Chain A
């Protein structure tokens, strides 16, 4: 059963969809792609939540403050605000039944927020898809994609901007507009400080951080969820069976181990 609702946080309402499951074996907080990537990855992200829910793993997905169906002004938000969203929702999800393992699963920029919260002790396991090395790397990729789209849709007389034009504006303290979102200079400067935490992402494959399981799926495997544009119909019906089944296998293996440890 899918329950959409608003979750009150300071100054805003987070839009959430709970893929509720009776007697779940585990719970997963899905920390999705960032603002500009949200629309192109939405359908496979929902499909993944449904895939897990039919296998008795309860999921909560949501929109960041100021993005999508959540309220708030995007330009007023910060990486700190969005990381706090993860913390609040993870705690809420955990309280639904504290004995059930809670996993954090982040995609793209969401992987950084999930990892950041995991490092401070939230969650029993961490799954990351296509994590960027830093938030700045993700923002730069988004700017490059915007330039590609501008070139694609250029009409006669339109000015073709370069990445350096956008970055200069940000460095000059101006707002820029990317895919309908206003990026502040503060957002850009803060993005240099948000990295995968030390100890997470140093190794490929499955590993442990603070004795808790971590799995990282690097971009070449998970990227189809976050690539694409508003003109790319082919992103919506891609076959993700392999990606989904492999990651479900890992989640169920981790769940069995965690339940074994608790008992």
Chain B
């Protein structure tokens, strides 16, 4: 058994006595000794965080694909399982959703960022997070200076509604039956009217501590890339009827210094694991990385051309036509 293969290395990080296990994707050129120097002051790493309860490979191994791709662009990339997830020690929190939404993983994530910055001689880390992990990433980024940017896939800013059986049953009925569907439509119209009357105030289940952290990060000028898939029963990049437009809200309150870019990826789904989604995420993130954290000329010239293997999708990476479009760039 080896811990190191050509482009990957298995690593561990210790947090509060627990061993967290992960994978380091070496930037291309490093393993061949062609001169890429991680000690260059501009070296920025990329850390991909577990989406929800998924292991660090992500759904359909999409996180492996992205980490391989970012490493191929010259950015050392890391995927580390949080405590209780994947191969890491510990048990998942009893109520994972509440734990995540209250920023429960933030100290751990911040410690991981600091650890890899120190060990690999990086000047900082850009965190790539998906769905629930975007909450952890925002809370963590507000704790440390080493987090230099956030790439967020389908972030959300509300708290869970509470999982009563009645609510779940009604939701299931509305989903399955025609009458239930009609009543659901009326319900969402009423919600829409209610939101309109509140005049752009967030709803009562908004995650206010999270919104405060976002405002702090946005106004500090932290580069943030948001990628958004079409939402359930929504049309285009807009949220579903009756749902609050959090992205619009947080962008408007991020101040003049903010560097927030929003990309809408049409045709994918919330997992971003399908071919279209994973390629679009890769392309948007790579452009964002190059724009915000350009490699030193010497580092860039040390890179080999991209290799053929991309973790299961090696035959359709570069030439796939993408139907995403730029929806908004804030300031």
User: Which residues from chain A sit less than 8 Å from chain B, CB to CB?
Assistant: 2-8, 13, 16-18, 35-36, 38-39, 42-43, 46, 66-69, 71-75, 150, 152-158, 177, 179-182, 230-231, 233, 235-237
B23 in contact (CB, < 8 A) = yes
A6 touches B233 (CB 8 A): no
In order of increasing CB-CB distance, the 4 nearest A-B pairs are A180-B60, A5-B1, A180-B273, A155-B230
Docked CA distance A150–B233 (Å): 12
**Are A73 and B274 CB-contacts (below 8 A) given A68-B57, A233-B96?**
no
| Residues of B contacting A36 in the complex (Cβ-Cβ under 8 angstroms) | 60
| Residues of A contacting B149 in the complex (Cβ-Cβ under 8 angstroms) | none
Name 16 extra pairs, CB < 8 A, besides A5-B2, A43-B53, A72-B312: A5-B3, A6-B10, A7-B1, A13-B5, A36-B60, A68-B55, A68-B57, A71-B311, A74-B61, A75-B315, A155-B230, A157-B235, A179-B59, A180-B271, A182-B313, A233-B97
Q: Which of A6, A38, A180 contacts B3 (CB 8 A)?
A: A6
A interface SS class: mixed
From residue 46 to 68 of chain B, which have CB atoms closer than 8 A to chain A? 51-55, 57-62, 64
B309 in contact (CB, < 8 A) = yes
Q: Which of B5, B52, B84, B232 contacts A233 (CB 8 A)?
A: B52
Q: Which of A42, A156, A182, A236 contacts B312 (CB 8 A)?
A: A182
**Are A68 and B3 CB-contacts (below 8 A) given A182-B312, A233-B96?**
no
B312 touches A66 (CB 8 A): yes
Q: Which of A5, A67, A153, A180 contacts B10 (CB 8 A)?
A: A5
| Residues of B contacting A233 in the complex (Cβ-Cβ under 8 angstroms) | 52-53, 96-97
B92 touches A179 (CB 8 A): no
Docked CA distance A72–B308 (Å): 11
| Residues of B contacting A17 in the complex (Cβ-Cβ under 8 angstroms) | 87
**Are A18 and B53 CB-contacts (below 8 A) given A43-B92, A150-B269, A153-B232?**
no
**Are A4 and B21 CB-contacts (below 8 A) given A177-B274, A180-B61, A180-B62?**
yes
User: Which residues from chain B sit less than 8 Å from chain A, CB to CB?
Assistant: 1-5, 8, 10, 19, 21, 23, 51-55, 57-62, 64, 84-87, 91-92, 94, 96-97, 175, 230-235, 269-271, 273-275, 278, 309, 311-315
Nearest B residue to A75, CB-CB: B312
Docked CA distance A110–B55 (Å): 19
B234 touches A69 (CB 8 A): no
B92 touches A42 (CB 8 A): no
Would you give the shortest CB distance from B87 to chain A, in whole angstroms? Answer: 6
B275 touches A46 (CB 8 A): no
| Residues of B contacting A46 in the complex (Cβ-Cβ under 8 angstroms) | 86-87
| Residues of A contacting B234 in the complex (Cβ-Cβ under 8 angstroms) | 155-156
A-B pair count, CB < 8 Å, reads 124
Would you give the shortest CB distance from B298 to chain A, in whole angstroms? Answer: 29
B5 touches A155 (CB 8 A): no
| Residues of B contacting A69 in the complex (Cβ-Cβ under 8 angstroms) | 23, 57, 64
A179 touches B273 (CB 8 A): yes
Would you give the shortest CB distance from A237 to chain B, in whole angstroms? Answer: 6
Nearest A residue to B57, CB-CB: A68
Nearest A residue to B230, CB-CB: A155
Would you give the shortest CB distance from A110 to chain B, in whole angstroms? Answer: 16
Looking at B19, B55, B278, B314, which has the most chain A CB atoms within 10 Å of its CB? B55
| Residues of B contacting A155 in the complex (Cβ-Cβ under 8 angstroms) | 230-235
Nearest B residue to A4, CB-CB: B10
| Residues of A contacting B61 in the complex (Cβ-Cβ under 8 angstroms) | 67-68, 74, 180-181
Docked CA distance A181–B60 (Å): 6
A230 touches B309 (CB 8 A): no
Q: Which of B1, B62, B94, B273 contacts A237 (CB 8 A)?
A: B94
Would you give the shortest CB distance from A247 to chain B, in whole angstroms? Answer: 20
Would you give the shortest CB distance from B213 to chain A, in whole angstroms? Answer: 23
Would you give the shortest CB distance from B74 to chain A, in whole angstroms? Answer: 21
Would you give the shortest CB distance from A146 to chain B, in whole angstroms? Answer: 10
Docked CA distance A64–B46 (Å): 26
* Interface CB pairs A-B, < 8 A, 18: A2-B21, A3-B1, A4-B21, A6-B2, A6-B10, A8-B2, A36-B60, A46-B86, A71-B5, A73-B311, A74-B61, A152-B232, A155-B233, A180-B59, A180-B62, A230-B54, A233-B97, A236-B96
| Residues of A contacting B62 in the complex (Cβ-Cβ under 8 angstroms) | 180
| Residues of A contacting B87 in the complex (Cβ-Cβ under 8 angstroms) | 2, 4, 17, 46
Nearest A residue to B7, CB-CB: A71
B92 touches A39 (CB 8 A): no
Nearest A residue to B60, CB-CB: A180
Looking at B53, B59, B97, which has the most chain A CB atoms within 10 Å of its CB? B53
Docked CA distance A158–B276 (Å): 14
B85 touches A74 (CB 8 A): no
| Residues of A contacting B23 in the complex (Cβ-Cβ under 8 angstroms) | 69
Looking at B52, B311, B313, which has the most chain A CB atoms within 10 Å of its CB? B311
Nearest B residue to A155, CB-CB: B230
| Residues of A contacting B58 in the complex (Cβ-Cβ under 8 angstroms) | 39
Would you give the shortest CB distance from A27 to chain B, in whole angstroms? Answer: 15
Docked CA distance A181–B5 (Å): 23
Docked CA distance A46–B85 (Å): 9
